[in-house]
Amino acid sequence: MHVLARLGSTLVSHALWVTRWLAAGTAPPMRTAYVEAVATEEQFRHRGYASAVMTRLAGEIQGFELGALSPSDPRFYERFGWQLWRGSLFIRKDEELLATPADEEVMILRLPMTPPLDLNAPLSAEWREGELW
């Protein structure tokens, strides 16, 4: 799903999410709106377009159990209530948990259907081709 910001007929900012299944610790996987990308055309940056896109995105994903993303700038997302996951990160492939590189970061957004979470617990996502997180 996409959220687009336009100025007249010009596309100035964009975010998209896909459905993924993230599991905290040994809890069952949660239906997660995973934000794949947020981008703003260079000449329109620092004008609030990405903020507007992220605010709209948060409103659109309220039916999910969780929001998640891999941030390029955690401070930007913290302003909107996103929290950095402090526990170890893993990818689930078949019955195996594959550790992800230590420099990988994931942030989550608690939604109305989010169960209680321990941000220090391990977090895993299903394996997929290409970029794992």
Where do the domains of the chain lie?
A: 2-95
Specify whether the backbone of 113 is left (phi greater than 0), alpha (psi in -120 to 50) or beta: alpha
User: Nearest-CA neighbor of 33 among 64, 54, 77?
Assistant: 64
What's the longest Cα–Cα distance across the chain?
50
Two tokens at 82? 């996103």
- Model confidence pTM above 0.75: yes
Structure confidence at residue 131 (pLDDT): 85
Which residues make beta-bridge pairs with 21?
31
CB 55 within 8 A of CB 15: no
Topology of domain 2-95, CATH = Aminopeptidase (3.40.630)
d(CA 13, CA 90): 31
Kindly list the averaged pLDDT for each block of 10 residues, start to end, along the chain of length 133.
96 98 97 97 96 97 98 96 98 93 95 98 95 89
